Amino acid sequence: MASRITAPGDYEGWSQQQLVTRIQELELQLAQAEKITTTNIEAQNRATFTSFPIPSPGENASKQTPFRKPPKQPSKPFDASKYSTRLIALKFAYLGQKYNGFEHAKNNKTRLPTIEEEVWKALVKTRLIAPTPQSPEEKRDYDRITKKTYQAWDREGADVNWDGCEYSKCGRTDRGVSAFGQVIGIKVRSNRPLPKSTPISSPETSTVPEETIEKTNGDILEAEEDQGAEDQKPFDDLRDELPYIQLLNRVLPPDIRMYAWCPNPPPNFSARFSCKERRYKYFFTNPCFAPVPGSPALYTPAASSGSEDPMREGWLDIGAMKEACKHLIGLHDFRNLCKIDASKQLTNFNRRIFFADIEEVSPLTTPSFITHTLLQNPNNASDQPKIYSFTLHGSAFLWHQVRSIIAILFLVGQRLESPSLVQELLDVSKNPTRPKYEMASDAPLVLWDCIFPHADEVQSAEQREKGYEDRLEWVYAGDEGGFEAKGKANGTPVGRGKWGRGGVIDDVWEVWHGNKIDETLSGLLLDAIAAQGQSKLGDGSEEVAGGAMKGGPRVFDGADFGRAKGIYTPVMKRERNESVEVINEKYAKRKGWDGGQRQKAKEEVADE
C-alpha cells in the first residue's frame, strides 16, 4: 500500500472542490516558473523568485570581488569573580620629567599624563584589578576593554578609579620629580585557586530531617577536604603566582619600570601610613654651570658667608654646604623651608630629619676644557668636576620641603650666604614668617626609597632619633617569584626577569644609552667650540677675555644654567610672606569653610 503524503495542510478533512482548487494553484505556479517573462535581469521577476533587482555585471564583470574578512566578534566580557585576589605591595621607579607628577586628580585634565594614571591603565589592561564601577556605562567599559579604549585614554586621559582595589600610595612626587623607590599597595588578581563550593540542600527546601542534613553536610565537607589534600597541590605564593613585574612592564611606558613586589605585606598595610621614613636625593654637578675664565668671573663672597677668599662663578663650596646640613638633623619646625599649602590647613610643621649630607656620587665625565687651570676655583684649585647628591632622610616631608632646603644650600655653596642661615630659618620664634626665595628646580630630585619597619619598632617623631630599616620582604626581578616560568634554557629562565631580552636591565639600558649618547655628543661639541677661534684657553699663561659680571654672580638653583639676578640681596633682608595663620584663614574664608571642614583638611599629610 502506497504511503500517504502529508502536506502542510490537513488534506484528509478537505472537500473534493477544495482539493481541485489547490491542484490548479500548484499547476499555475509551476507553469509560471518555467516561463521567463523578461530579459532584463535587473528587473523584478516573479518567475525567478526574486523580489529585488539583480545588479548588472557591467564592464567589470571579469574582475573578482575582493575578499572581505568577516567582522570580528566582540570579545567576551571579563568576569573578575572567577579569580581570587590578594593584597600585595609593588615597588617601582620612574623618570618624572615627562609627567605631571605622581598623583592623578579627578576632573583635572593636564597636558601631561600622571604616573598614577599610567600605572592604573597598566593594571586595568592586564586585568590585574577590577575597579568597582561608579556607573552602568563604566561597568560596560571595564567588561569590554579594547584597543580603541586605550587609544581614547591616551588621547583624552583616563578617569582613574581605585574603588574596590584597596589602593594606597607612599609618596606624592610633584611634576618633573623622579622616584627610584616608589611603593603602592593594591589588591590584584591572583593565580591562587578559588575554594570549591558544593551546593548543599537547605532544611527549608528538604523533606529530610534536619539532623540527617547536618550529619550529611559534615561528612561531605570532611570528604572534600581529604580529597582536596590528596588531589590539589598546595599553592606556592612565589612559584605559582602571576608574574606581576613582567605583566606590568610589558604595557607600561619605558620610563616607568616595576622591579619588586611584596607577596605578604602585614595586616592593614597602607603604603602611605605604614611608611615611617622617606629618603630623597637631589643631584647636582660641581661646577654647577659653565665657569667663565679670567679675573672678571671672580667675585668676593658675602660678608655673612664667613670667608673672604674669592670664588669663581659656577663653582660650589661643598664644605660649606656640608656644614649647613648639620643644622637640619633633628626635630625642627620647617615652615620657613617649605611651601605653605593652605588647602591642608596645617598648623604643625615639625618634622624629624634622620640624616642630611652632601655625598659624592662619582667623578664627572666632563668636557676636557673644564679641567683647565683658568677655569678652576682659585680658593681650591685641586677641586675636580664631580657629581654630588644632597641626601635627606626624614619621617615625613612638607610640600616642596626638599626643594626649598636645597635652594638655600646652593646659596650657601656659592658663598652668598652663611651656613648659619639654615639655623636662622629653623628658629621660628625669631623668624615666624618665611622670606621670599625661589625653590630649586624639580628635575634633579628623586624619591630614593620608602621604608616600612615592623609595627613594634614604630615611634613618634618626637621620640625617634635614628632612621628605620625596611622590613617588607621584597621579591626583586630575577629572584624566585620575580620572573616568568616560561622561556627556559637548560632549566634557567631566560630574560623575562632581570637580565637578558625582556628583562628590567635591558629596558633601563635603552633609556640610559640614549641619554648617554646625547651627553657624550654634547660634551664633544663643547670641546670643539672651546678650541676654536682666538679666545682659547691656551696653556694658562695668558689672560682670556670672559664675560664680565653685571651686579653680581649668576645664581644656581639646580637648573641647567645660572640665573642673572643683579645685585644679590641676602635672604634675611628680603620681603616676607604672610604668617601661616593668616594664609590659612584667608583660604578658608575664600572657600567658605567651617570648623569641621578645616579640621578634615588637616588630616591630609602634605608630602613632597
Q: Does residue 359 register a pLDDT over 70? A: yes
Q: Does residue 177 register a pLDDT over 90? A: yes
Q: Which range is most confident: 39-48, 301-310, 473-482?
A: 473-482
The backbone region for 396, taken as left when phi is positive above 0, alpha when psi lies in -120 to 50, beta otherwise, is: beta
CB 501 within 8 A of CB 494: yes
Is residue 327 assigned to a domain?
yes
Is residue 479 assigned to a domain?
no
Nearest to 126 by CA among 240, 252, 35: 252
> Do 385 and 336 fall within a single domain?
yes
The per-residue DSSP string of 235-284 comes to PPTTTTS--HHHHHHHHS-TTEEEEEEESSPPTT--TTTS--EEEEEEEE
Higher pLDDT, 389 or 232: 389
CA distance 160 to 143: 16
**230 band by pLDDT with thresholds 50, 70 and 90:** very low
Split into its structural domains, the chain has a count of: 2
Span 41-62, pLDDT tens digits = 555 555 555 555 555 555 555 5
Check residue 45 and give its pLDDT.
Answer: 55
Is residue 52 assigned to a domain?
no
> Do 188 and 326 fall within a single domain?
no
Among positive and negative, which fits the CA dihedral 42, 48, 51, 54?
A: negative
> Do 368 and 290 fall within a single domain?
yes
Q: Is 545 helix (H, G, I), strand (E, B) or coil?
A: coil
Q: Is 443 helix (H, G, I), strand (E, B) or coil?
A: coil
Q: Is 436 helix (H, G, I), strand (E, B) or coil?
A: coil
Check residue 266 and give its pLDDT.
Answer: 93
Check residue 364 and give its pLDDT.
Answer: 64
Higher pLDDT, 150 or 349: 349
Do the strands 475-476 and 488-489 form a parallel or antiparallel pair, or are they unpaired?
unpaired
CB 527 within 8 A of CB 368: yes
Question: What average pLDDT is seen over the chain?
Answer: 81
Q: Does residue 540 register a pLDDT over 70? A: no
Check residue 60 and give its pLDDT.
Answer: 55
Return the bridge partners of 92, or none: 182, 258
CB 371 within 8 A of CB 333: no
CA distance 414 to 428: 25
Q: What is the mean pLDDT of residues 371-376?
A: 73
Identify whether 287 is preceded by a cis peptide bond (ω within 30 of 0). yes
Is residue 117 assigned to a domain?
yes
Neighbouring CB atoms inside 10 A of 492's CB total 8
Q: Does residue 161 register a pLDDT over 60? A: yes
Is residue 539 assigned to a domain?
no
Check residue 351 and give its pLDDT.
Answer: 95
Is residue 23 assigned to a domain?
no
Q: What is the mean pLDDT of residues 374-385?
A: 71
> Do 285 and 431 fall within a single domain?
yes
Check residue 243 and give its pLDDT.
Answer: 92
Check residue 135 and give its pLDDT.
Answer: 75
- Locate the DSSP E strands across 49-122: 84-94
Higher pLDDT, 379 or 525: 525
Check residue 487 and give its pLDDT.
Answer: 54
pTM of model > 0.75:
yes
> Do 351 and 439 fall within a single domain?
yes
| Rg of the chain in Å (alpha carbons) | 37
Buried b (16+ CB within 10 A) or exposed e, 390-406: bbbbbbbbbbbbbbbbb
> Do 257 and 301 fall within a single domain?
no
Higher pLDDT, 21 or 597: 21
**356 band by pLDDT with thresholds 50, 70 and 90:** very high
CB 187 within 8 A of CB 86: yes
The grid cell for 39 is 530579459
The grid cell for 347 is 598648623
Higher pLDDT, 121 or 58: 121
Q: What is the mean pLDDT of residues 72-78?
A: 73
Q: What is the mean pLDDT of residues 230-252?
A: 86
Residue 558 per-residue DSSP state: S
Question: Which helix or strand (DSSP H or E) is residue 446 part of?
Answer: strand 445-451
> Do 281 and 254 fall within a single domain?
no
CATH number at residue 424: 3.30.70.660
CATH number at residue 100: 3.30.70.580
> Do 416 and 329 fall within a single domain?
yes
Check residue 7 and give its pLDDT.
Answer: 52
Check residue 48 and give its pLDDT.
Answer: 52
> Do 252 and 337 fall within a single domain?
no
Q: Is 48 helix (H, G, I), strand (E, B) or coil?
A: helix
Buried b (16+ CB within 10 A) or exposed e, 89-105: bbbbbbbbeebbbbbbe
Query: Per this entry, what is the length of the chain?
Result: 608
What residue type is assigned to position 66 of the chain? P
Check residue 205 and give its pLDDT.
Answer: 45
Return the bridge partners of 189, or none: 85
- Locate the DSSP E strands across 456-572: 475-476, 488-489, 492-493
Residue 517, judged by CB atoms within 10 A of its CB (0-12, 13-18, 19+), counts as exposed
- Which segment of 216-225, 427-436, 575-584 scores lowest on mean pLDDT? 216-225
Buried b (16+ CB within 10 A) or exposed e, 524-545: eebeeebeeeeeeeeeeeeebe
**209 band by pLDDT with thresholds 50, 70 and 90:** very low
CA distance 5 to 50: 29
CB 450 within 8 A of CB 281: no
Task: Indicate the Cα dihedral angle 283, 289, 295, 298, nearest 10°.
Answer: -50
CA distance 119 to 258: 10
CA distance 481 to 512: 27
CA distance 346 to 348: 6
**304 band by pLDDT with thresholds 50, 70 and 90:** low
> Do 319 and 378 fall within a single domain?
yes
CB 397 within 8 A of CB 174: no
Q: What is the mean pLDDT of residues 487-506?
A: 68
Report the percentage of the chain scoring pLDDT > 90: 45
Residue 84's domain comprises: 80-193+237-262
> Do 183 and 322 fall within a single domain?
no
Q: What is the mean pLDDT of residues 480-485?
A: 78
Nearest to 379 by CA among 302, 317, 294: 317
**416 band by pLDDT with thresholds 50, 70 and 90:** very high
- Which segment of 107-121, 200-214, 320-334, 433-447 scores lowest on mean pLDDT? 200-214
Report the percentage of the chain scoring pLDDT > 70: 76
> Do 254 and 300 fall within a single domain?
no
Nearest to 123 by CA among 80, 152, 77, 156: 80
Is residue 164 assigned to a domain?
yes
Neighbouring CB atoms inside 10 A of 122's CB total 20
CA distance 470 to 114: 27
Q: What is the mean pLDDT of residues 230-247?
A: 83
What residue type is assigned to position 318 of the chain? I
Check residue 195 and give its pLDDT.
Answer: 82
Q: Does residue 603 register a pLDDT over 50? A: no
Is residue 245 assigned to a domain?
yes
Q: What is the mean pLDDT of residues 306-321?
A: 87
Buried b (16+ CB within 10 A) or exposed e, 468-477: bebebebbeb
Q: What is the mean pLDDT of residues 546-557?
A: 75
Span 103-114, pLDDT tens digits = 998 777 778 899
Q: What is the mean pLDDT of residues 389-411?
A: 96
